[in-house]
Structures are given as structure tokens and as C-alpha cells.
Amino acid sequence: MKKIVIGITGASGIIYGISLLQALHSNSDVETHLVMSKWAKENLAIESTGYSLKEVKDLADYVYDEQDMGAKIASGSFQHDGMVVVPASMKSLAAIAIGLGDTLIGRAADVTLKENRLLIVVPRESPFNQIHLENMLKLSKMGVEVIPPIPAFYNNPQTINDIVNHNTMKLLDHLHIKNDQSLRWDGMVNAKKLIRQTQQR
């Protein structure tokens, strides 16, 4: 069974974290460990996701308080198959880049790095300033996978969920978890067929 750690920070776009949790929750071969920051919980109330805090927590197998530095995921001896910070605020990104570890999300990311395990960050900010870019470059040089939630339009998304699911597909792909979250590029001929089908709806 794969063990995946998910950190949801206070950046806008909490739906990306929820979407990943939903996809992993539906996979019986995956065990999830969730940490939500204080501002992630605030965003859940602000952004119209339709989910309560309890409903989000219920999607995870284990849930930890962001100040619980004694949690199992705070130790490098806890073996897991990857950690995703989604969405990742610029504050959390900076904390990870300098190894601050002042919250459980930062500490869990820090031990993920020191144990040479997979770490994925989903930075949600626009535009990026030089500090943001330098932090992402620093993390990338350490092997962190930086996957910003940039929408694709070749698959003709019809809803916000279509756009969100495309990003979730990418995260699952990089976690090496098979999925069919979104339509994939299948060549120009098939893309034209898809466009015609969409227009006929």
C-alpha cells in the first residue's frame, strides 16, 4: 500500500487539495496522511467548494494538527511514498526552501527531503516575484517536483472540475499512481474528433 502525505496550505485554490484527496480516497491501495494549515481551513470557508472541514478530513486516513511536531510524519523514520503540498503558499514554499520546519507541513517536507523521498509542491500565486522563482529553482535543484496548477485547454474543459482534474491527473502521474482523472493528449486527429464531439453536446 502506498502512503502519501498531503499538506494543504493557505494559498487560494484549496479545491486542488480536495481533488487530490478525493482521487486518493477512491484508491484502496493508497493510505493518506493529511495536514491542513490554519489558513487552509479559513480558505475552505471562503472559497465556495461545497465541502465542510469534516468532509475534507474524512477523505484522509490520518489527520494531524499543523502544530503537532510529535506526529509520525514529522520523523524521517516514517516511510512514505511521496508528499504533496497542494496548494503551496509562497510562505510555505519559502519555509521549505530554507528548512525552517516551524509547522508540521514544513517539518514533514523537510524530512521528506532529507530522506530523499518524492516531494511535490503546487505553487499557487500570480505573478511570481524573483524571490518566489528563486525558491522554486532552489527546490527544483534539490529534486522537488514543482507542478503549478496551470490549466490545459487541448482537452476542451467544460467545467471548473475539468480544469482541476487535469492538474490532479498530473499529480497522480508524478506519484506513480494510475488514473483516468482527465483526458490525455492522443494526437491531433483524435483531438479534432474530441472537439467535434464537444461541439455537438
Q: pLDDT for 146-166, tens place per residue?
A: 999 999 998 889 999 999 999
pLDDT digits (tens, 9 = 90+) for 56-81: 999 999 999 999 999 999 999 999 99
Residue 170 labelled as part of a binding site: yes
The answer, yes or no, to whether residue 92 has pLDDT greater than 70, is yes
Residue 124 labelled as part of a binding site: yes
The 10 Å Cβ neighbour count of residue 12 is 14
pLDDT of residue 48: 86
pLDDT of residue 104: 98
Contact 87, 122 (CB under 8 A): yes
Number of domains in the chain: 1
| Cα dihedral 107, 181, 167, 67 in deg (nearest 10) | -20
pLDDT of residue 193: 66
HSE, CB side, 13 Å, CA atoms: give it for residue 150: 6
pLDDT of residue 26: 96
Residue 11 labelled as part of a binding site: yes
pLDDT of residue 187: 79
Domain that holds residue 15: 2-199
Domain of 36, CATH number, reads 3.40.50.1950
Rounded to whole angstroms, the Cα distance separating 118 from 114 reads: 10
Residue 26 labelled as part of a binding site: no
Residue 154 labelled as part of a binding site: yes
pLDDT of residue 195: 65
Residue 52 labelled as part of a binding site: no
Residue entry with cell 493508497: 30
pLDDT of residue 119: 98
Residue entry with cell 503549478: 148
> Model pTM?
0.92
Residue 10 labelled as part of a binding site: yes
